[in-house]
């Protein structure tokens, strides 16, 4: 057997017949599950800037992966070529939120499973994942975290400001303290009561306090 005979073998040239109805059914299911992932992502999004493009990518990714898996499972030569083609693809898009990785892998997994013909597994698995994300991703803390930055002239003003903070918030903790010839700069993490921020005005009215800044954050930006 020569080298050319290997490529002329019936094994490599064989193409499994596929039903257009099966392809249509698989693509429709992939679209429905992809839209379900789209809705779950929209409802569980907790970032600052919602990206419609990324959400639509989840739907497209499920469809494209389904199509690729259907093609790969029907032709051995095509599957080898697909592996080589995908090995040179490089993705440079930045992942802004850790949860985006979960949704990307979810869409890819759905496409693989549906393309392999295991539609019930894709539907049931996606339903379970969606319920879990809805239950846990939207659980928000009742107390919003804040960072308070104070500039005090001396230790007396510092103690007075911290005393007022202690009485006005549910809990707080000093994160940083800088003492210089210009005064004292204090940074504290705190939890307000019923989102009441009026105590900052009272802090600013204290003698010796030159600046009081309250910043809201989600607890993930700073350590």
Residue range of the domain that includes 26 = 3-137
Threshold 0.85, pTM exceeds: no
Of 8-17, 89-98, 194-203, the range with the lowest mean pLDDT is 8-17
Of 143-147, 204-208, 209-213, the range with the lowest mean pLDDT is 143-147
Single out the residue in 106, 137, 168 at which a domain terminates: 137
Q: Is 218 helix (H, G, I), strand (E, B) or coil?
A: coil
Q: Are residues 25 and 124 in the same domain?
A: yes
Q: Are residues 100 and 38 in the same domain?
A: yes
Q: How far apart are CA 127 and CA 48, in angstroms?
A: 26
Residue 221 lies in a domain: no
Q: Report residue 106's pLDDT band, with 50, 70 and 90 as the boundaries.
A: very high
Extract the tokens encoding 207: 């003698």
Q: How far apart are CA 93 and CA 86, in angstroms?
A: 16
pLDDT (tens digit, 9 = 90+) per residue, 163-188? 888 888 888 888 888 998 888 999 98
Query: Angle 120-124-125 (CA atoms, 0-180°, nearest 5)?
Result: 110
Q: Are residues 205 and 169 in the same domain?
A: yes
Going 72 to 41 to 190 to 206, the CA torsion angle's sign is positive
Single out the residue in 117, 137, 157 at which a domain terminates: 137
Q: Report residue 27's pLDDT band, with 50, 70 and 90 as the boundaries.
A: very high
Residue 159 lies in a domain: yes
Residue 56 lies in a domain: yes
């Amino acid at each position: 057997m020569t080298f050319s005979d290997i490529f002329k073998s019936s094994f490599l040239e064989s193409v499994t017949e596929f039903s257009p109805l099966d392809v249509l059914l698989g693509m429709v299911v992939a679209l429905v599950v992809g839209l379900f992932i789209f809705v779950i992502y929209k409802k569980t999004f907790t970032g600052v800037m919602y990206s419609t493009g990324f959400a639509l990518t989840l739907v497209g990714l499920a469809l494209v992966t389904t199509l690729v898996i259907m093609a790969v499972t029907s032709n051995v030569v095509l599957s080898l070529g697909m592996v080589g083609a995908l090995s040179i693809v490089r993705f440079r898009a930045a992942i802004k939120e850790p949860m985006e990785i979960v949704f990307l892998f979810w869409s890819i997994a759905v496409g693989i499973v549906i393309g392999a013909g295991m539609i019930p597994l894709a539907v049931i698995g996606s339903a379970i994942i969606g319920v879990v994300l809805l239950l846990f991703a939207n659980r928000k803390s009742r107390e919003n975290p804040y960072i308070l930055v104070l500039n005090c002239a001396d230790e007396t003003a510092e103690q007075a400001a911290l005393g007022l903070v202690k009485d006005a918030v549910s809990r707080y903790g000093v994160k940083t303290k800088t003492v210089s010839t210009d005064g004292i700069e204090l940074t504290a993490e705190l939890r307000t009561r019923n989102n009441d921020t009026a105590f900052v005005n009272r802090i600013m009215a204290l003698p010796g306090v030159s600046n009081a800044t309250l910043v809201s954050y989600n607890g993930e930006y700073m350590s």
